Structure 1
Amino acid sequence: MHIGYITPEYPHPEVSHAAGIATSIKNLANSLVKQGVRVTVFVYHQSKDAVIEAEGVTLHLIKKQSFKFLTWYYYRKLVNRYVNTIVKQEQIHLLEAPDWTGITAFMQFKVPLVIRFHGSDAYFCKLEGRKQKFKNFVFEKLALQKAKAYIAPTSYAGEETAKIFGLKRNNIKTIHYGLDLDRFVNTHPEQFQPKTLLYIGTIIRKKGVLELAEVFNRLIDKDPNAQLLLIGGDSGDIKTGSTSTYALMQSLFSETAKSKVNYLGKIPYSEVQEHIKNAHVCTFPSFAETLGMVTIESMALQKPVVNTSLGWAQELIDDEVNGYLIYPKDTAAYAKKIITLFEDKALCLKLGQAARKKVELNFDIQKQVKKNIDYYQSLLL
């Protein structure tokens, strides 16, 4: 079997951008290769055209181009032609694409197309309670209508997307993202930097970072030794028009809290693990995710996680068993739970061990890759 992935991002030095979608695709692609499946990845909106071999996966970088008019249409057609050429040459059996902005709208393929719900613009707009551009909704719906089937990383993401676009739920298969657990090992979970709270993700309103600022103010009031480490790129803010959400966070921090915040910005993915291992507690107070890779990565490394209580997170964490689920706007309860963890090392280790077991059970890529292969094969019958 030969599977092709169409994506705007992938973790590789020659690729201009890589985030959660990229990580999940690479984890799956590498595991498919180990199972004897050929994998080709088409990465669009790149700075150059190139073909690269990476860990058994063939990457086709497709240069971003502009046209005199209707660039959104003609660039899609350019990508479509290129993908179809390689599909025919390399005998690719099935293609998969993300739902975000409906990249495959106006595209036609000779092989089945599966769309994975990494998170459409419509999905995030609904969760954030903001209005979506009509054009984006049309593109995403057109793309979904042309797909043969769909994969959702959580049942919640699948159900919400089905509601938004009027999809038949029996065409949606829930398959969680997976981790190569051999690469996520914490041999000394008892060793960490005390009172360090870690957040990883884009600094953007929908991730709950403004609420996190208030949570940290409360932490500092109770424990002046607390520290907050932030990792991730800054982003503009849709609501206020600010070019920097981190600047908005800074305006919310108390003077005492501000001196205890360390913002690293974007760092290489290879360095993130050490920061997770070093953290006392990891927190992800998001209002909009489909799953949240950093949550399961932190759990795999045996960290106590205080997470959002919203839909998708309930499929990752069993509250008070292998982590905590709290609504981000309840900043008092959020801070109280983190303080409890800061003051109880034994509880942290207990939750961390249970978190690792949860990931081994539900998010091991060796189990998830077989589910993906079985589903792909069912679509080729």
Structure 2
Amino acid sequence: MHIAFLTSEYPFKGLTRSGGLGTSIKNLAKGLIAQGLKVTVFVVGQQNDIVSKEEDIQLICIAKKKHRAFNWYLERKRYQKIIQNHVDKQGIQLIEAPDWTGISAYMTFSIPLIIRLHGSDGYFCHLDGRPQKWKHRLLERTALKNADAVVSVSTFTAGLTKEIFGLKTVIRTIHNGIDTDIFKPFDVEVNPGQLLYFGTLIRKKGVLELAEIFNKVAESQPQCRLLLIGKDALDIFEKTSTLSLFQKILSPEAKKRVSYLNEVPYANVNEYIARSHIVLLPSFAEAFPMTWLETLAMEKALVSSNVGWANEMMVDGVTGYAINPKDHLLYAEKIIELLNDIPKCNRFGKAGRQHVIEKFSAEVITQRNIDFYNICIRQ
């Protein structure tokens, strides 16, 4: 079987920045290769045309081109023509695209095109409580309506997407998976009292709530420190740096104990997780976050949010705590409890890793995807 992915982001040197979407595609592609399938990844909208191969995954990067008018339509049709040419020559049997900004809208191929819901622009606008641009809504709705099948990384994301776009499509859930041989416990010294947040510094991921929460933790825990790792983002409401807003909220005492690293190489993220005492991910807007999977797989106590998708991954009080980030006091109390109870941190960590191995390991998730692809190809 030969599967292709159509995406605008992928973690590869020389390409534009990639986030959780690109990581999840790469994880799945590697899993498919391990099962003997062929995989091609088409990465569109890049600065240069690149043809390369990494870990037996064929990469075809397509440089963007400006059109005098209707760029959003003509560029998609140009991508379609290039990709269809590869389909014909290489015997590709199915193409998968994400929902983000309707990347596959107006594209038609001679083989099945499926869309995986990682969280569309419309989905995140809804969770943020802000209007979506009409063009993005048109493109995303068109892409979803015309797909041969739709699959979602969480049941919550599937249900909300159907509601937002008025879809009657049957949407199957196949959660994101993770390679538990890469993300596993490290034999390194843990920094006592080290709290870690990693991911984009942005309002929707609960970063501003985290500042309020850490103020309360710092009042009673003189040994604790908070490390933020991730790219700073412009706040959608205040139109200024989210990091600067975060720092304004901090109390003078809390401010002394916060440090910040602007993005570290993805390959190094697991070392920072390993050296942390507790990981804090109080997000309001996700589909099925890789950061949570990575934390659990590495046997770290996680205090997450309890929003939407959370109960599909977290088992509150077993794999960690899932708390409403707006309840600053309760969230802080759970952190303080774990700071003072290392045995409980260890129990949460071990339970979290076992939960990931059983439910979300690459082996388990890859086979579910292969079964789904076979159904789509046969139909």
Q: TM over 0.5: same fold?
A: yes
Deviations 1:272-292 (A, max 9, x none): 000000010001111100011
Distance (Å, rounded) in 1 between the aligned partners of 2:215 and 2:69: 50
Corresponding position of 1:356: 353
Shift of 1:225: 2.1
Corresponding position of 1:29: 29
Shift of 1:164: 1.2
Corresponding position of 1:181: 180
Distance (Å, rounded) in 1 between the aligned partners of 2:178 and 2:242: 30
Could you say what secondary structure the match of 1:249 adopts? helix
Contact 2:11 2:23 (C-alpha < 8 Å) held by counterparts:
yes
Deviations 1:218-263 (A, max 9, x none): 1111112211111111111111121x11111111111221121111
Corresponding position of 1:197: 195
1:106-145 equivalences under 5 Å are: 106-145=106-145
Shift of 1:168: 2.7
Corresponding position of 2:44: 44
Deviations 1:198-232 (A, max 9, x none): 01111011001000011111111111221111111
Distance (Å, rounded) in 2 between the aligned partners of 1:380 and 1:293: 28
Distance (Å, rounded) in 1 between the aligned partners of 2:353 and 2:366: 19
Contact 2:186 2:271 (C-alpha < 8 Å) held by counterparts:
no
Distance (Å, rounded) in 1 between the aligned partners of 2:226 and 2:44: 36
Q: Quick one: which amino acid aligns to residue 67 of structure 1?
A: H
Distance (Å, rounded) in 1 between the aligned partners of 2:70 and 2:247: 40
Distance (Å, rounded) in 2 between the aligned partners of 1:175 and 1:137: 24
Corresponding position of 1:172: 171
Q: Quick one: which amino acid aligns to residue 301 of structure 1?
A: M
Of 254, 262, 265, 2:262 maps to 265
1:1-381 equivalences under 5 Å are: 1-169=1-169, 171-188=170-187, 191-242=189-240, 244-381=241-378
Shift of 1:195: 0.9
Distance (Å, rounded) in 2 between the aligned partners of 1:7 and 1:160: 22
Shift of 1:187: 4.4
Contact 2:229 2:261 (C-alpha < 8 Å) held by counterparts:
yes
Distance (Å, rounded) in 2 between the aligned partners of 1:256 and 1:129: 33
After superposition, the CA RMSD in angstroms is 1.1
Q: Quick one: which amino acid aligns to residue 15 of structure 2?
A: V
Shift of 1:69: 2.3
Shift of 1:306: 0.3
Q: Quick one: which amino acid aligns to residue 181 of structure 2?
A: D
Distance (Å, rounded) in 2 between the aligned partners of 1:255 and 1:265: 22
Distance (Å, rounded) in 2 between the aligned partners of 1:16 and 1:101: 17
**Structure 1 segments of 4+ aligned residues over 6 angstroms from their partners:** none
Could you say what secondary structure the match of 1:140 adopts? helix
Could you say what secondary structure the match of 2:69 adopts? coil
Shift of 1:356: 0.6
Could you say what secondary structure the match of 2:145 adopts? helix
Deviations 1:283-326 (A, max 9, x none): 11111000110101100000000000011011111100111110
Shift of 1:357: 0.7
- How many aligned positions are there? 378
Deviations 1:27-76 (A, max 9, x none): 11011011111100000111100110110100001112222222222221
Shift of 1:105: 1.0
Which stretch of the first structure deviates more once superposed, 7-16 or 273-282?
7-16
Q: Quick one: which amino acid aligns to residue 279 of structure 2?
A: C
Unpaired segments ≥5 residues, structure 1: none
Could you say what secondary structure the match of 2:181 adopts? helix
Contact 2:279 2:301 (C-alpha < 8 Å) held by counterparts:
yes
Q: Quick one: which amino acid aligns to residue 3 of structure 2?
A: I
Q: Quick one: which amino acid aligns to residue 132 of structure 1?
A: Q
Distance (Å, rounded) in 2 between the aligned partners of 1:89 and 1:187: 44
Q: Quick one: which amino acid aligns to residue 358 of structure 2?
A: L
Distance (Å, rounded) in 2 between the aligned partners of 1:379 and 1:238: 39
Contact 2:118 2:152 (C-alpha < 8 Å) held by counterparts:
yes
Which stretch of the first structure deviates more once superposed, 68-77 or 310-319?
68-77
Distance (Å, rounded) in 2 between the aligned partners of 1:130 and 1:235: 17
TM-score (norm 1): 0.97
Distance (Å, rounded) in 1 between the aligned partners of 2:82 and 2:230: 33
Could you say what secondary structure the match of 1:305 adopts? strand
Distance (Å, rounded) in 2 between the aligned partners of 1:240 and 1:82: 41
TM-score (norm 2): 0.98
Contact 2:114 2:150 (C-alpha < 8 Å) held by counterparts:
yes
Shift of 1:167: 2.1
Distance (Å, rounded) in 1 between the aligned partners of 2:64 and 2:186: 43
Q: Quick one: which amino acid aligns to residue 353 of structure 2?
A: R
